[in-house]
Structure 1
Amino acid sequence: MSKTSLLKWLKEGHLTIPAELLTQYKDMNLNEQELVLLLQVISFNENGNEFPTPFELSSRMTISVSDCTDILRKLIQKGFIEIKEGHTGDGILHEIYNIEPLWEKLIEHFLLRNKQEAVLVNQKNETDLYTCFEQEFGRPLSPFECESLAMWMDDDHHDPHIIKAALREAVISGKLNFRYIDRILFEWKKNGIKTIEQAKSYGKKFRQHQSNNRTQNEEMNQTTKSVPFYNWLEQ
């Protein structure tokens, strides 16, 4: 290929579109013909032709002029494009295809999809949390215990991962009850503990403090090595 041909190819330009449009057009109630027609309108627009005719659009596609006309009408009815008045450089009015409605719909779809995914993740975390508690307690949770779990999440806004960390702390400390876990969460929230790493560090600090306060005589009399744990109810 000659240098002249390459320069001509570069001058044709490139069409940049969001990946979201290619992956989600089906969920946005678009079919393949409608999508390609939209891309053709965008391409014409970027090359200075803001109102390509059905004939011009059809010449780039495998559908007829009448099909292009019908699809354009459907896209306008579905709110993906609209016809507006534009101005030429000398002030003459002319019609243009406005693509902004497409981008607005794409943004709305993206935000809604993210919100729905976040809801699903949150529901899964909550389900996993109840399952985790029932496994540790070895029985179904009582209505009161279920209500306590819901209050920790909804009223106190504790992250499910933090609640699981408090459960593990209670299990390790041998004090598996909701009052003890509630006290742990209260202390963590009071001290600004919001991540698993902060919770581990905070618990380690108190356990180290207790370990340092043990007398040498007590340590020598231990028959088995044990790790002291912080009693959160005595805070």
Structure 2
Amino acid sequence: MEQKELLINWMDEGMISVPQVLLTYYQKLDFTEIELVLLLQIFACKQKGRHFPTFEELAARMTISASECSLVVKKLIQQQVLEIEQGDTLGFESYSLRPLWKKLADFMMQQSRQSALHQAMNEEQDLYTCFEREFGRPLSPLECETLAIWIDQDHHDAVIIKAALREAVISGKLNFRYIDRILFEWKKQGIETLEQARAYGQRFRKSQSPSDQVQRSKKAVPFYNWLEQ
């Protein structure tokens, strides 16, 4: 009976759901373990309807004194991680964790932008390497500028540019002007994915006359299947 009552009391206390990203990145936000636990205690109290627990109440749930708790709260407020809101009722105050969630969201967005930038830089570097490998020489400054225009101004994805390079290799017309025509045509046709580019290229080659295909085969153009990578 005592065990059953203990289990009921345990379940009656309820549970809280803590964002995984907070536990993962709190140190990158310069939170100490004490600051993290204090924020979690405030969060837990708010879940139980106690929106403005006293320093004594918070300290009773931690290993620091009430005076130390007050200093940590003051620091978190100064760092704009925690704030005190005034309620509609006179004398009613509550802790707000909205600044914490905002700081965490800003950090995650920054991480996402940095990751996207790093990926874009790697893709761009890989793109230049692919072109130089196919052309068998370093790209000229004008060719490098053309590549940059395709990426920055025309907003072609690196994968699509590689696919256009493949089409130029297959066609035996390995020059930037021809690749630019391919990209222009694909954009006009609304082609944005690798699968669409592959399908369009296959339809284009099938539509060519047999004499064109024989003429191209005589050139013994090497085949590099960029679309399969």
Equivalent of 2:121 in 123, 131, 134 = 123
Q: Which residue of 2 aligns with 1:113?
A: 111
State the 1:111 CA deviation: 1.8
% identical equivalent positions? 53
1-structure distance, mates of 2:154, 2:97: 45
Q: Equivalents in 2 of 1:13, 1:98: separation in Å? A: 21
Deviations 1:175-230 (A, max 9, x none): 211111111111111111111100100010111222xx427xx999xx99x89x9x
User: How far did 1:17 drift?
Assistant: 1.8
Alignment CA distance shift 1:190-1:117 (3 Å):
same
Pair 1:7-2:8 in alignment = yes
**Which runs of 5 or more residues in structure 1 are unaligned?**
230-235
Amino acid at match of 1:189: K
TM-aligned CA deviation for residue 92 of structure 1: 4.5
Alignment of 1:60-75 (within 5 A): 60-75=61-76
String of CA shifts for 1:102-148, please: whole Å, max 9, x gaps.
11212222222212221221121111111111121122110000010
Q: Displacement, 1:27?
A: 1.9
Aligned to 2:160: 162
Matched letter for residue 178 of structure 2: Y
Runs of 4+ off more than 6 Å:
none
**Larger displacement relative to structure 2 (37-46 or 167-176):** 167-176
Paired AA for residue 195 in structure 1? T
Q: CA deviation at 1:2?
A: 3.4
Q: Deviations over 1:146-174 (max 9, x none)?
A: 01001111121111110011111112222
- Find the counterpart in structure 2 of residue 214 from structure 1: 210
Alignment TM-score, normalising by the size of structure 2? 0.86
Match of 2:93 in 1: 95
Quote the residue 2:135 is aligned against: 137
Question: Is the partner of 2:87 in helix, strand or coil?
Answer: strand
CA drift at 1:94: 2.4
Equivalences, count: 218
Name the CA distance, whole Å, in 1 between partners of 2:166 and 2:213: 26
AA of the residue aligned to 1:14: M
Q: CA RMSD in A?
A: 2.5
Structure 1 residue identity aligned to 2:69: C
Q: Distance in 1 between matches of 2:98 and 2:6?
A: 34
Of 139, 158, 182, the match for 1:184: 182
User: What is aligned with 2:38?
Assistant: 37
Q: 1:21 to 1:219 in 2, by over 3 A?
A: closer
Q: What is the aligned partner in structure 2 of residue 232 from structure 1?
A: none
Q: Match of 1:66, as an amino acid?
A: S
CA distance in 2, matches of 1:44, 1:179: 66
Gaps of 5+ in 2: 224-229
Q: Which residue of 1 aligns with 2:102?
A: 104
Instruction: Give the drift of 1:5.
Output: 2.3
| Matching residue of 1:233 | none
Return the alpha-carbon distance in structure 2 between the equivalents of residues 185 and 92 of structure 1. Answer: 66
Q: Could you tell me how far 1:47 is from its partner in structure 2?
A: 1.0
Secondary structure, aligned partner of 2:149: helix
